């Protein structure tokens, strides 16, 4: 990236400008924070210096506003050349017919289909399984973070199967010592659904079939809910959400579900400080940062019951269909630039741990490991690559065989699954009764 910045400064100093007949495109991004906008703008400035005749306007768009903004731009005949947003958005836009699927499919193959993590690529695969409505760019991975040193002392296997997870949760659960086996969500909040979905996917359970029929109340989903309810017995006391990570950071928890956004909390004292007080859990008292915690922690990004499954979020780059060949060409050049290692790493370093690369080979590069926070060096190359490997197996309830179902988003917004979990884990409702209730609620949402 340094050589690019040198070129920017040199060209500006020499008075090199874009031509009067410049091709103008817009790049819409969901990275709306001021500091991230500055970084992206710097990358675009570099791109424009290296591609005289192309100008790129950066447009921040909130994720929830993207559909309405796209509809307005389409009506006005002023569509962006390139957009960055969730894989669910890209699939939805693909179904509306406004994406340049042919060009993106060629670009996936040009960059290298096998270079992409296959789970991430499936999140943007359209129904025939051979075309793509986006190119995976960054995202986060969920996993079970666990005390490897504790597991080693008890001779336990990593928590990567249902049996291993339950066995470990029981082995480490000592509430009389204020120590607990696992943390998974039981409050009616999004975190609970994220934990539950990971288990459900590993059991081959789904909300919808490929034809869009609601099939939530099925034997595999019921089995998942029963297991989840049993496992919740080894949680810290009371309804819990992600905040109970404090137990882990204070040495009172064997394992917990979390995304890669937890990485800096485990490694950096200043970030961990908020979890080392008694503000959230008086029974924990005042904790002290453990500099060895990051070394003693590993993550199981893939869980297996009937199949290996990961869970996470994919943000993709996508080409919007353009009538102008020049605009198409300019947008494709921009995508290629954004995948160049120096550019790519600079983008990902806006949120170390939260933004993970979607192609192989980036995470092992010295430049990637040398992030501004010094975070990745604390983990080391092997752990970083292990964490990111979960991208090969990620999935979601929203996407089935390359087709997205908007109803899944509406169901998510109503927190039906978290309310079902709360009913079984906290209120004592039977899994059979709770899952029947949940499917009725889901059907009502679909019928609205």
- pLDDT of 406 higher than 80: no
Question: The tokens of 298 are what?
Answer: 């590993």
Residue 401 vs residue 413, higher pLDDT: 413
pLDDT number for residue 399: 80
One domain, residues 295 and 434: yes
pLDDT number for residue 133: 93
CB contact at 8 A, 281 and 250: no
Query: What's the rounded mean pLDDT across residues 298-323?
Result: 96
Q: Quickly state the pLDDT bin for 448 (edges 50, 70, 90).
A: confident
Distance from C-alpha of 421 to C-alpha of 257, rounded to nearest angstrom? 16
Distance from C-alpha of 392 to C-alpha of 109, rounded to nearest angstrom? 17
Q: Quickly state the pLDDT bin for 213 (edges 50, 70, 90).
A: very high
To the nearest 10°, report the CA torsion of 254, 258, 259, 261. -80
Residue 37 vs residue 8, higher pLDDT: 37
Q: Domain end: 360, 392, 424, which one? A: 392
Q: Running DSSP on this structure, what letter comes out for residue 125?
A: B
Which single residue is written with the structure tokens 């979890």?
275
pLDDT number for residue 226: 98
Give me the number of domains the chain comprises: 2
> How far, rounded to the nearest angstrom, does the alpha carbon of residue 84 sit from its chain's CA centroid?
14
One domain, residues 77 and 179: no
Which single residue is written with the structure tokens 């890669």?
260
Domain assignment of residue 8, given as a range: 2-140+313-392
Q: What is the CATH number of the domain that holds 318?
A: 3.40.190.10
One domain, residues 99 and 135: yes
One domain, residues 104 and 42: yes
- pLDDT of 355 higher than 70: yes
One domain, residues 181 and 262: yes
Q: Quickly state the pLDDT bin for 85 (edges 50, 70, 90).
A: very high
pLDDT number for residue 18: 43
- pLDDT of 9 higher than 80: no
Q: Domain end: 392, 414, 437, which one? A: 392
What's the mean pLDDT when you consider all of the chain? Answer: 92
One domain, residues 343 and 416: no
One domain, residues 134 and 146: no
Question: The tokens of 99 are what?
Answer: 């994406």
Q: Are strands 303-304 and 82-86 parallel, antiparallel or unpaired?
A: unpaired
Q: Quickly state the pLDDT bin for 15 (edges 50, 70, 90).
A: very low
- pLDDT of 4 higher than 80: no
pLDDT per position as a tens digit, 159-197: 999 999 999 999 999 999 999 999 999 999 999 999 999
CB contact at 8 A, 337 and 328: no
One domain, residues 177 and 224: yes
CA distances to 119, 193, 263, 428, 434 from 424, rounded to whole Å, are 31, 14, 31, 5, 7
One domain, residues 169 and 209: yes
pLDDT per position as a tens digit, 227-272: 999 999 999 999 999 999 999 999 999 999 999 999 999 999 999 9
pLDDT number for residue 402: 64
- pLDDT of 104 higher than 80: yes
Q: What secondary structure, in 3-state letters, does 388-409 show?
A: HHHHHCEECCCEECCEECHHHH
Q: Running DSSP on this structure, what letter comes out for residue 232?
A: G
Task: State whether residue 137 is helix, strand or coil.
Answer: strand
One domain, residues 109 and 204: no
- pLDDT of 20 higher than 80: no
Query: What's the rounded mean pLDDT across residues 130-150?
Result: 96
pLDDT number for residue 10: 40
Judged on CB neighbours under 10 Å (0-12, 13-18, 19+), 377 is: middle
Whole-prediction pTM: 0.89
One domain, residues 283 and 410: yes
If residue 258 lies in a helix (H) or strand (E), which one and from where to where?
Answer: strand 255-259
Q: Domain end: 355, 371, 392, which one? A: 392
Distance from C-alpha of 172 to C-alpha of 337, rounded to nearest angstrom? 49
pLDDT per position as a tens digit, 49-61: 999 999 999 999 9
> What percent of the chain has a predicted confidence (pLDDT) above 70?
95
Distance from C-alpha of 19 to C-alpha of 22, rounded to nearest angstrom? 5
One domain, residues 113 and 22: yes
Q: Are strands 54-60 and 23-29 parallel, antiparallel or unpaired?
A: parallel
**R_g over Cα of the chain:** 23
Q: Which residues on neighbouring strands pair with residue 320, listed in sequence order? A: 99
Q: Helix H segments across 132-250?
A: 148-154, 162-172, 190-202, 219-231, 245-249
């Amino acid at each position: 990236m340094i050589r690019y910045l040198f070129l920017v400064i040199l060209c500006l100093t020499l008075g090199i400008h874009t031509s009067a007949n410049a091709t103008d495109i817009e790049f819409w991004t969901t990275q709306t924070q001021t500091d991230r906008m500055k970084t992206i703008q710097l990358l675009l400035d570099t791109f424009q210096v290296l591609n005289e005749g192309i100008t790129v306007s950066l447009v921040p768009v909130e994720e929830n506003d993207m559909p309405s903004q796209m509809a307005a731009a389409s009506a006005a005949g002023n569509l962006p050349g390139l957009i960055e947003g969730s894989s669910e958005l890209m699939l939805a836009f693909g179904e509306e017919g406004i994406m340049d699927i042919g060009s993106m499919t060629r670009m996936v193959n040009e960059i290298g289909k096998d270079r992409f993590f296959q789970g991430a690529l499936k999140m943007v695969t359209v129904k025939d399984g051979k075309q793509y409505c986006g190119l995976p760019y960054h995202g986060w991975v969920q996993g079970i973070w666990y005390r490897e040193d504790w597991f080693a002392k008890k001779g336990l296997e990593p928590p990567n199967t249902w049996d291993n997870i339950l066995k470990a949760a029981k082995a480490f659960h000592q509430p009389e010592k204020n120590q607990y086996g696992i943390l998974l969500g039981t409050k009616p909040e999004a975190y609970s659904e994220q934990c539950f979905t990971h288990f459900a996917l590993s059991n081959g359970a789904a909300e919808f079939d490929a034809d869009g029929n609601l099939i939530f109340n099925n034997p595999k989903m019921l089995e998942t809910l029963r297991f989840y309810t049993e496992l919740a017995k080894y949680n810290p006391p009371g309804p819990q959400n992600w905040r109970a990570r404090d137990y882990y950071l204070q040495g009172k928890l064997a394992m917990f579900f979390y995304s890669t956004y937890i990485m800096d909390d485990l490694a950096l004292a200043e970030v961990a400080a908020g979890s080392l007080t008694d503000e959230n859990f008086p029974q924990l008292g005042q904790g002290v940062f453990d500099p060895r915690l990051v070394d003693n922690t590993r993550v199981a990004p893939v869980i297996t019951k009937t199949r290996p499954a990961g869970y996470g979020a994919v943000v993709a780059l996508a080409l919007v269909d353009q009538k102008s060949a020049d605009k198409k060409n300019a947008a494709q050049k921009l995508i290629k630039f954004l995948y160049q290692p120096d550019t790519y790493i600079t983008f990902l370093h806006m949120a170390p741990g939260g933004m993970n690369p979607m192609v192989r080979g980036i995470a092992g590069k010295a430049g990637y490991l040398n992030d501004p926070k010094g975070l990745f060096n604390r983990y080391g190359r092997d752990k970083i690559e292990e964490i990111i490997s979960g991208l090969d197996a990620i999935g979601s309830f929203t996407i089935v065989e390359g087709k997205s179902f908007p109803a899944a988003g509406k169901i998510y917004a109503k927190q039906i699954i978290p309310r079902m979990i709360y009913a079984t884990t906290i209120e004592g409702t039977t899994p059979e009764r709770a899952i029947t209730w949940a499917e009725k609620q889901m059907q009502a949402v679909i019928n609205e």
